[in-house]
Amino acid sequence: MSEDDKLDLRPASNEEIEQSLSFALRYDGRKRVRHADDAMARITAERLVQHLERSGYVLMKRPDASAPSTTRHRHPHSD
């Protein structure tokens, strides 16, 4: 990670962490894991976030990536 990337970090919200953990409990990459129930994944993610918060963890998040362009025209700032 470059120094510029580190400057763009911000604390991740509890909701962002819950969503990421819940997704990880329900999917393996993009493949749906059938043995993980949606409600159980959400509850587990919420409990994990609460525990991390009580334990003093601070998770950082990069800014959201911009959507990829589907145009064939070159971006004026890219070389």
Give domain status of residue 73, yes or no.
no
Q: Which secondary structure element, helix H or strand E, spans residue 48, and what is its range? A: helix 38-54
Q: CA torsion sign, 44 to 45 to 48 to 49?
A: negative
Give domain status of residue 25, yes or no.
yes
Predicted structure pTM score = 0.59
What pLDDT digit, counting tens, does each position of 46-68 carry?
999 999 999 998 888 888 776 66
Q: CA torsion sign, 21 to 23 to 29 to 32?
A: positive
What pLDDT digit, counting tens, does each position of 15-42 carry?
999 999 988 888 887 788 777 688 888 8
Domain count, the chain: 1
Give domain status of residue 78, yes or no.
no
Name the residue range of residue 40's domain: 9-56
DSSP at 30:
T
Give domain status of residue 20, yes or no.
yes
